[in-house]
Amino acid sequence: MSLATLSFTLAFVAGALVLSIWLKLGLQKDIIVATVRSTIQLLVVGYILKVVFKLDNPLFIGLMVMLMMVVATQNAAKRGKGIKRVWWRIFVAITATEVATQGLLLGLRITPATPRYIIPLSGMIVGNAMIVSGLLLNRFISEASSHRGEILATLALGGTPKQSIMPFLKNAIRASMIPTIDSAKTTGLVQLPGMMTGLIVAGADPIQAVRYQLLILFSITASAALTSIVLGFLTYPQFFTRLQQLVLPE
């Protein structure tokens, strides 16, 4: 695709702007900023990846993956305002997910240990872990706040902090995984995912494209479960003091 051809796709952005102005949605600035930022970010990443792929150096691969995890953690941490040291808890959960998933893929030689495979797959895994982390924190805080009385009652009756909050932590974990599971259920019927579509457009055999997409779906489903569980168990102790008193994030 040439730059001239790509420029024609700005008609979609123009259409969104016209609709926003017509309906007085007030989203014109956000649409423009999102368009400019995504264009710049993708172009920069594209040139960086071109260099990293050419060098094929483990150090640069590790730096790219680390950058992804740091940015993902920073974004997800916005959902956990009021929770002490939430940043490093999210980072640990995302790192554990990335290490476990890539360790399995590379250890079983499912994918080659090359930047062309490691970096894109890591981007999908980390990106999904970021979304799951944000959903978990948002729902967990909401669950704990709305069931404050029940948690306090359990503590008053001699229950431990874990016993008092576990039902609501499970609800938060379940809620954070629902989008990933629902997406997997409708894949192929409602949507053709990005990797599969990209491979088909690039000329790959559709069956081969399906196999790679299934690899991604299975990895993302597992990463969603791992991220939500690790982050949930790292986070819930912050809702209590050393004296086992409930302290909700503000």
The Cα–Cα gap between 110 and 122 comes to 14
Domain membership of residue 216 as a residue range: 56-239
Share of the chain above pLDDT 90, in %: 55
Asked if residue 244 is part of any domain, the answer here is no
Section 122-136 average pLDDT: 93
Shared domain check, 35 and 132 = no
Looking at residues 150-175, what average pLDDT do you find?
A: 93
Between 188 and 102, residue with greater pLDDT: 102
Count of Cβ atoms closer than 10 Å to residue 117 Cβ: 16
Residue 193 shares a structural domain with residue 221:
yes
What CA–CA distance (Å, rounded) separates 141 from 172?
Answer: 9
Q: What is the pLDDT of residue 8?
A: 82
Answer with the residue of higher pLDDT: 139 or 81: 139
Within a domain: residue 148?
yes
Q: What is the average per-residue pLDDT within 22-42?
A: 91
Q: Which of 38, 55, 72 is the last residue of a domain?
A: 55
Instruction: Report whether pLDDT(116) > 70.
Output: yes
- pLDDT at 128 > cutoff 90: yes
Is residue 87 located within the same domain as residue 73? Answer: yes
Together in a domain, 145 and 227: yes
Do 128 and 215 reside in the same domain of the chain?
yes
Cα 116 to chain centroid distance, Å, stands at 20
Q: Are residues 65 and 14 in the same domain?
A: no
How many structural domains does the chain have? Answer: 2
Last residue of a domain, one of 55, 83, 98: 55
Question: Which two tokens mark 201?
Answer: 């457009």
Does the structure show a pLDDT above 90 at 227? yes
Flag whether 230 is in a domain. Answer: yes
Q: What is the pLDDT of the chain when averaged over all its residues?
A: 89
What is the average per-residue pLDDT within 83-96?
A: 93
Q: At residue 178, does pLDDT exceed 70?
A: yes
User: Residue range 192-202: average pLDDT?
Assistant: 70
- Of 40, 55, 70, the residue at which a domain comes to its end is 55
In the predicted model, what is the mean pLDDT of residues 7-26? 89
The confidence score (pLDDT) of residue 37 equals 92
pLDDT bracket for residue 99 (50, 70, 90): very high
Residues of the chain by 3-state class (helix, strand, coil), percent to 5: 80, 0, 20
Please check whether residues 33 and 51 belong to one and the same domain: yes
Q: Whose CA is closest to 90, among 100, 104, 103, 75?
A: 75
**Is residue 246 assigned to a domain?**
no
Shared domain check, 158 and 112: yes
Ramachandran region of residue 26, left (φ > 0), alpha (ψ -120 to 50) or beta?
Answer: left
Looking at residue 103, its pLDDT comes to: 93
Q: Are residues 85 and 206 in the same domain?
A: yes
User: Do residues 103 and 203 share a domain?
Assistant: yes
In this structure, are 49 and 160 located in the same domain? no
Is residue 134 very low, low, confident or very high in pLDDT (cuts 50, 70, 90)? very high
Residue 85 domain-assigned (yes or no): yes
* 182, pLDDT greater than 90: no
pLDDT of res. 185: 84
Mean pLDDT, residues 153-174 taken together: 93
* DSSP at 113: S
Closest C-alpha among 216, 238, 234 to residue 96: 234
Rounded to two decimals, what is the model's pTM?
Answer: 0.84
189 or 52, which is more confident: 52
d(CA 138, CA 79): 6
Clarify whether residues 94 and 196 are in a common domain. yes
Residue 245 is assigned to a structural domain of this protein: no
